[in-house]
Amino acid sequence: MRLDKFLKVSRLIKRRTLAKEVSDQGRIEINGKEAKASSTVKVGDELTLRLGPRRITVKIERIQETTRKEEAAEMYTILKEERVGYSEEQND
């Protein structure tokens, strides 16, 4: 599945267009490598997202084309969530 679609379906990011923008800005990594919106994700991949002052690392548990809101969080496991200082964010 494409990265931008996974982010939307899993509700890590609410809109696919926003997921595409964030990806294309280099703020998402798959298994430690910078990823674009068209990158393919699979079960077992680790995603690191930099969203504002937060850095979230998740592991993909399952892939689904569509999901209900209540089930979306079952698609991934949060491994780490941290606040990133403003100066560190600027240097990235």
Q: Which two tokens stand for residue 43?
A: 């079960």
pLDDT tens per residue across span 35-45:
999 999 999 99
E strands along the chain, which residues? 28-30, 33-34, 46-51, 54-60, 76-83
**Predicted local confidence at residue 9, as pLDDT:** 95
Confidence category of residue 89, pLDDT binned at 50, 70, 90: very low
pLDDT tens string 43-70: 999 999 998 899 999 999 999 999 999 8
- Sign for the CA dihedral angle at 66, 39, 11, 78 comes to positive
13 Cβ contact list (under 8 Å, min separation 6): 7, 19, 22, 49, 51
Work out the percent of the chain whose per-residue pLDDT is above 70.
92
